[in-house]
Structure 1
């Protein structure tokens, strides 16, 4: 579909980027999975918002997560850090 994992479309389309996951994982398959990202101010934020109250809430969740040995939390919201997509895939 596209030659690289992520293509950004600043102000040219309704969506801001397309991610094609097989480029991130090294898969070779004629089929593919795509994500189109659309900007919105409705719903949960896609990125952690670094504020004191959010850090305190994260610490509470972190303590609860530590009690779940068979559950894996990964990605931006799991660690309350910003990561590039390749870093998130690497964590998984």
Structure 2
């Protein structure tokens, strides 16, 4: 599983990095670490939009951890991801 440590970024940085991966890859398994709570719902909404399985969604010591699996679904429509909101 690929790990994306985005703890040094503020919103919308973590969301944008994850959204780019979700838009461009058909199959992936990632574990995302970030600190900005404003990105949590945006990342989860994007994952649901592209039919990802949410393997993990927790917070430990001020770090949010979300693990996602995407199996063979088409890349997301960029327009749909832009409509998810903002920070």
**TM-score with structure 2 setting the length:** 0.25
**TM-score with structure 1 setting the length:** 0.24
Larger Cα-atom Rg = 1
Larger relative contact order (CA 8 Å, sep ≥ 6):
2
Greater strand share, 1 or 2?
Answer: 2
